[in-house]
Amino acid sequence: MQIKLKGIGARLKEARERLGLSQHNFAQVGNVNRMTQGRYEAEVNFPGVDYLYLLSQSGLDVTYILTGTAEADMTCIYSAEVFAKVMAWVDDLSAKHNYPLSPAKRVRVSLQIYSEMMRSERKEAPSLADVVRIADE
């Protein structure tokens, strides 16, 4: 799976228009203001975990927004709360050890660790070695 940053804005706009919402109303779903929503759609900025989590809680296919591939074609994220926790772990490790990750690598590492947790191959928080190993794959 590959995160496709180019096109996230268009896919957000597509989702918003499919629901018949204005930028203002769609922004409220993600708990941001209209200007921020416009910047996401224009790909000036990229959405964060909190925003994506709120969209997923509203029933939007965040996998499609991030990758361009419908969730049915992907490993499903059964618990957005657990996925958000994994992303926070990855962010903390990255910041603590000054190991910057591109947005695509950040999500890829988080998805891999999340998948391992859901398959019960992992019970504990990831280590820096885990993050580096997955990021370099």
Q: How far apart are CA 77 and CA 63, in angstroms?
A: 9
- The amino acid sitting at 26 is F
25 plus 67 within the same structural domain: yes
Residue 116's H or E segment, with its range, is: helix 103-118
66 plus 92 within the same structural domain: no
Q: How far apart are CA 114 and CA 82, in angstroms?
A: 8
pLDDT band at 73 (very low <50, low <70, confident <90, very high): very low
Average pLDDT over residues 9-22: 84
Within-domain flag for 2 = no
Within-domain flag for 28 = yes
Residue 125's H or E segment, with its range, is: none
- Is the Cβ–Cβ distance between 111 and 80 less than 8 Å? no
12 plus 69 within the same structural domain: yes
pLDDT band at 96 (very low <50, low <70, confident <90, very high): very high
Task: List the domain range (segments joined by +) for residue 96.
Answer: 80-135
88 plus 130 within the same structural domain: yes
13 plus 69 within the same structural domain: yes
Interaxial angle between packed helices 80-96 and 128-135, expressed in degrees from 0 to 180 and rounded to the nearest 10: 100
52 plus 97 within the same structural domain: no
Within-domain flag for 58 = yes
